[in-house]
Amino acid sequence: MCQDCGCGDPEIVPVVVHERLLSGNDRVARHNREHFAAHDVLAINLMGSPGSGKTAILEATARALASRHRLGAVSGDLATDRDAQRLRAAGIPAATITTGSACHLDAEMVHRALHDFALDSLDIFVIENVGNLVCPAIYDLGQTLNVVALSVTEGEDKPLKYPVMFRNAQAVLLTKIDLLPHLGGVSLQMFNDALARVMPEPRTFPVSALTGEGMDRWLEWLEASRPRV
Amino acid sequence: MHEYSIVSALLERVSAEARAHNATSVYRLTLRIGDGAGVEPDLLSKAYEHFRAGTICARAELCIEPVAERWVCPVCGRTLARGAVLSCEGCGMPARLMSGDEIILERIEMEVP
| pLDDT computed for residue A4 by the predictor | 61
Nearest-Cα distance to chain A for B106, in Å, is: 4
What CATH number should be reported for the domain holding residue A180?
A: 3.40.50.300
**A121 inside domain:** yes
Q: Which residue segment(s) compose the domain that A214 sits in? A: 23-223
Question: What chain A residue is nearest to B111 in terms of C-alpha separation?
Answer: A12
**A7 inside domain:** no
| pLDDT computed for residue A78 by the predictor | 82
Q: What is the mean pLDDT of residues B92-105?
A: 96
pLDDT in tens, A163-203: 999 999 999 999 999 999 999 989 999 999 999 999 999 99
| pLDDT computed for residue A215 by the predictor | 98
Question: What chain B residue is nearest to A14 in terms of C-alpha separation?
Answer: B109
Do B104 and A1 lie within an 8 Å CB cutoff?
A: no
Of A22, A102, A135, Cβ closest to residue B9: A22
pTM (two decimals): 0.93
pLDDT in tens, A16-64: 999 999 999 999 999 999 999 999 999 999 999 999 999 999 999 999 9
Q: How many domains does chain A have?
A: 1
**How does the average pLDDT of chain B come out, rounded?**
95
- A202 and A157 Cβ atoms separated by less than 8 Å: no
Do B111 and A134 lie within an 8 Å CB cutoff?
A: no
| pLDDT computed for residue B78 by the predictor | 93
Q: What is the mean pLDDT of residues A115-134?
A: 94
Instruction: Give the pLDDT band of residue A6 (cuts 50, 70, 90).
Output: low
Instruction: Give the pLDDT band of residue A102 (cuts 50, 70, 90).
Output: confident
Do B5 and A102 lie within an 8 Å CB cutoff?
A: yes
**A12 inside domain:** no
A108 pLDDT higher than 80: yes
| pLDDT computed for residue A229 by the predictor | 66
Nearest-Cα distance to chain B for A136, in Å, is: 8
pLDDT in tens, B35-86: 999 999 999 999 999 999 999 999 999 999 999 999 999 999 999 998 999 9
Q: What is the mean pLDDT of residues B95-99?
A: 97
User: Which residues have a Cβ under 8 Å from the Cβ of A139 and sit 6 or more positions away?
Assistant: A22, A25, A29, A104, A105, A106, A107, B2
**A8 inside domain:** no
- Do the bridges between strand B25-34 and strand B103-112 make them parallel or antiparallel, or are there none, so unpaired? antiparallel
Do A196 and B17 lie within an 8 Å CB cutoff?
A: no
Q: For chain A, what percentages of helix, strand and coil (3-state, to nearest 5) are there?
A: 40, 20, 40
Share of residues in chain A with pLDDT > 90 (%): 85
A2 pLDDT higher than 60: no
Q: Which of residues 72-101 of B touch A (CB under 8 A)?
A: 83-87, 94-97, 101
**A145 inside domain:** yes
- Domains defined for chain B, CATH in brackets: 3-69+99-111 (3.30.2320.50)
Q: Give the span between the Cα atoms of A39 and A57, in whole angstroms.
A: 24
Per DSSP, what are the bridge partners of residue B110? A13, B26
- B23 and B101 Cβ atoms separated by less than 8 Å: no
**A177 inside domain:** yes
**A41 inside domain:** yes
**A99 inside domain:** yes
* β strands within chain A, DSSP E: 11-20, 42-48, 71-77, 94-98, 124-128, 145-151, 171-175, 204-206
| pLDDT computed for residue A100 by the predictor | 81
| pLDDT computed for residue A7 by the predictor | 66
